[in-house]
Amino acid sequence: MYPFSKDVYAAKNCWYVASFSRDVTRSPLERWLLDQPVVLYRRENGEVVALEGRCAHRHFPLAEGKVIGDNLQCPYHGFTYAPDGQAVRIPSQERPSSRCGIKSYPTVEKWRWIWIWMGDPVLADPGLIPDHYAIGLEGDDLTTDDAYHGEIEARYQLIHDNLMDLTHVAFLHRNTLGGGGDDSATAKVSEREGEGWLEAERIIRDVPTVPHFAAYLGYAGNCDRHIGQRFYLPALHHGWDKYLYPEGHPEAGKMFGMLQVYHAITPARRNSAHYFFATARNFGREAHEEMRAATIAVIQEDVWGLCHVERMLQACHGNVPREYSARTDTQQLLARRKLEQLILRENEALCEERIME
């Protein structure tokens, strides 16, 4: 499946964001994740439950069901499931069968996100979730906002492609984040790689402060911008946009503002993806609604671009013509390859397990 060279879809043995915390309540919520229906709700004590969203009896969508105590009842014939997925009531039988059950998925609620593990539950180590203090989502130094969630009509790989090639900032975001020039496309890139992550940063010198944020930054002159992005494979990107006084300014080199952005990407169906977007900043601290509106405007530009590419790909009916990649695409191509390797390794491990059985 494009952009992979093999017909593979997504890695399962990893943490993905399933929802913002605020969206999971005592009413069941349906989310398609990795092409599977999932239903999310809270127990009486507030803990999150994530179950397969399809009744074991006749496939009824369980998000239409009713939460009773900690359990979930299917509204069709009343089968009732416990948080571990086991059927605890089949109204037409005296006792439920131990063979009747649905999948239950491990979850972790961290910051304002609910992370889910769709693969083998035995491997679900919460320590694998990127450190929220290290990336600025928790702690007191920054003001954070959960800004946006949408299931967008584009396969998840396209969002990773988009984030791994920030030359698009100068064009797709020309009127918002781009600041009106080509600088983010032409600036030199420095790239780094670590255990489970890839990073790219551009330093753009002496350019106008982005008008989109100038009012909140309290400075509208020229600045140096450090734009970077780190991809924690396979589900989270942490980006930053730092504003520094340029050469010639009395406080040259001093940072006067920093915006951090978090893009959690979760495959939804084969050709759609959940896009969870959050921000942290050290300016405009009280301007929650204004900053949210400003950042959503940027995301909508991305969504517009991604949906166009997805429609074009679908029109190819599997025969996607060969692409030309620019020199700046190196990291994007590396990310594609690493994602594909992750999936292939998982598939191989699964095959080996089956042979051993």
CA-derived radius of gyration, the chain: 23
Give how many residues touch Fe ion by CB under 5 A: 1
**Residue 84 C-beta: closest distance to ligand FES, Å:** 18
State which residue, 64 or 145, has the beta carbon closest to ligand FES.
64
Closest CB to Fe ion among residues 183, 346: 183
Minimum distance from CB of 301 to Fe ion (Å)?
7
With CB under 5 to 8 Å by kind, the binding choice for 55 among Fe ion, ligand FES, none is ligand FES
CA distance 89 to 34: 29
Whole-number minimum distance, CB 236 to Fe ion, in Å? 16
Q: How far is the CB of 276 from Fe ion (least distance, A)?
A: 15
Distance (Å, rounded) from C-alpha 169 to C-alpha 167?
5
Could you tell which of Fe ion, ligand FES, none binds residue 61, using a CB distance below 5 to 8 A set by kind? none
Nearer to ligand FES, 61 or 150 (CB): 61
Beta carbons within 8 Å of 88's beta carbon, 6+ residues apart = 71, 80, 81, 82, 96
Distance CA 264, CA 227 (A): 18
- Nearest-angstrom CA–CA distance, 62 and 51: 9
The whole-angstrom separation of Cα 161 and Cα 231 is 11
Helix, strand, coil abundance in the chain, percent, nearest 5: 25, 35, 40
Q: Which residues bind ligand FES (CB under 6 A)?
A: 55, 57-58, 60, 74, 76-79
Asked whether position 302 contacts Fe ion by CB under 5 A, the answer is yes
Report, in Å, the least distance between residue 189 CB and Fe ion: 16
Q: How far is the CB of 76 from ligand FES (least distance, A)?
A: 4
Residue number with CB closer to ligand FES (55 or 261): 55
In the list Fe ion, ligand FES, none, the entry touching 79 (Cβ below 5 to 8 angstroms by class) is: ligand FES
Partner whose binding site includes residue 76, from Fe ion, ligand FES, none (CB under 5 to 8 Å by kind): ligand FES
User: Which residue lies nearer to Fe ion by CB, 241 or 302?
Assistant: 302
Pick 79 or 231: Cβ nearer ligand FES: 79
Three-state secondary-structure class, residue 266:
strand
State how far the Cα of 238 lies from the Cα of 260, in Å rounded to an integer. 7
Task: Report the C-alpha gap between 131 and 110 in whole angstroms.
Answer: 10
Closest residue to Fe ion in the complex (CB): 302
CA 249 to chain centre: 38
**Terminal-to-terminal C-alpha distance of the chain:** 30
Cβ proximity to ligand FES: between 57 and 66 the closer is 57
Helices (DSSP H) in the chain: which residue ranges?
156-164, 169-172, 183-186, 211-217, 288-315, 330-356
Q: Which residues bind Fe ion (CB under 5 A)?
A: 302
